[in-house]
Amino acid sequence: MWIYDLKYYWRKWKAKIVLLFLFLLVLFWFRFQFLGLIGNYLVCEDELQKVQVAFILGGNSQIRAEKAAEVYDLSISDHFICTGEHHNDLADYFEVPESEAALSKGFLCQMGVPKQNVEVMRSGTSTREEADYILEECIKKDWNKIGIISDLFHTRRINTIFRDKFRENGIEIVIIGVENDKYDEKEFWKDERGTVMVFMEYIKLLHYYLT
């Protein structure tokens, strides 16, 4: 009896099973192109242009500071503000009470940017919090065009959180993406750190859309 049942279900589901198999086959065949699209969506940076001040968001302090130093050398901005309340892991280990913001400033000054050109804003434990603090500072200082420096894969989330909020207050933002020095964003799946970064960015984007 079960043979007849199997034949019945096969006739009933055959077309759908074949289509599913073909879909999975196509997905596998074009997996690298598909993964590339997933990564590309997270990149949302603007063309480099002169700004009144550039904010370096907390996290990955060294590579973000390197990009800020490049921005300084290109005369795009000579005023920088480093954000980030989190403590660096090493700083915590050695009980040094410094924040990500201070760490970014340290790297930036080592790279030739004068200390008087770099401020520290020890505020913000998330991108949304940093956006609020930066907006408050911009309104206070009457800035209407600013740069935001962060990792390439972080730029989509920055655009989602910053763009409309700042535009409503008459402030233009220029998002400046930083390539990671541990993996190639165009082939992020070849490195575990790149894969984890992409996965976490989509999770965080979903969280922001839901909340």
> What integer pLDDT is reported at residue 92 of this predicted model?
56
Span 146-196, pLDDT tens digits: 999 999 999 999 999 999 999 999 999 999 999 999 999 999 999 999 999
Comparing C-alpha atoms, which of 145, 150, 135 is closest to residue 172?
145
Span 74-123, pLDDT tens digits: 999 999 999 988 655 555 554 444 678 888 999 999 999 999 999 998 87
Write the DSSP assignment of 25-40 as a string of letters: HHHHHTHHHHHHHHHH
pLDDT level of residue 23 (50, 70, 90 thresholds): confident
- In the chain the first and final C-alpha atoms are separated, in Å, by 53
> What integer pLDDT is reported at residue 90 of this predicted model?
55
pTM of the model: 0.84
Q: Residue 13 and residue 155: Cα distance in Å, rounded?
A: 44
Q: Residue 96 and residue 77: Cα distance in Å, rounded?
A: 30
Structure tokens at 137: 């500072």
Q: Which domains are delineated in the chain?
A: 2-40 (no CATH), 42-210 (3.40.50.620)
